[in-house]
């Protein structure tokens, strides 16, 4: 339970940090992490704004133009096609969260409407 609360807190921090980065303000798009690419392609038309790999997880924040529900539909279909089980889903008016598990790994997608800037997509894969 504590691990899930920490992951949710980290998701919120990453999304809030990404909201501060104006699209186009970075000189080059960060490379989409290979560990995520092995699981699922980058969301079509989205731009990576931040990526990070640690010993325990891989993170990517993307900026897209589609609504959060369409983003979640894409990732749900992609992970279930690779044998992942949907552990939980939740939604508010501004955000949707999908969590999938397989073996000892967890993949979490948070898609948040970003006031006039499209949708911020936060991906976390625990290894």
- Domain ranges within the chain, ordered by starting residue: 2-126
CB 18 within 8 A of CB 126: no
How is residue 1 written in tokens? 């339970």
> In this structure, how many other beta carbons lie within 10 angstroms of the beta carbon of residue 78?
17
96 strand-pairing partners: 91, 111
Tell me the C-alpha distance between 77 and 38, whole Å. 15
> In this structure, how many other beta carbons lie within 10 angstroms of the beta carbon of residue 123?
26
Tokens 């948070």 correspond to what residue?
A: 110
pLDDT of 113 reads 94
pLDDT tens over the chain, length 127 residues: 545 554 555 455 444 544 444 444 445 889 999 999 999 999 999 999 999 999 999 999 999 999 999 999 999 999 999 999 999 999 998 899 999 999 999 999 999 998 877 999 999 999 8
């Amino acid at each position: 339970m504590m691990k899930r609360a920490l992951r949710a807190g980290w998701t919120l921090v990453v999304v809030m940090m990404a909201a501060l980065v104006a699209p186009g303000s970075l000189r080059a798009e960060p490379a989409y992490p290979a560990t995520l690419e092995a699981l699922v392609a980058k969301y079509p038309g989205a731009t990576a704004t931040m990526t990070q790999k640690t010993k325990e997880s891989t993170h990517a924040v993307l900026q897209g133009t589609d609504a959060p529900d369409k983003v979640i539909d894409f990732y749900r279909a992609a992970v279930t096609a690779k044998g992942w089980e949907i552990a939980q889903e939740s939604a508010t008016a501004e955000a949707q969260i999908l969590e999938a598990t397989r073996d000892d790994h967890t993949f979490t997608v948070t898609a948040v409407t970003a006031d006039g800037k499209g949708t911020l997509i936060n991906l976390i894969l625990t290894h």
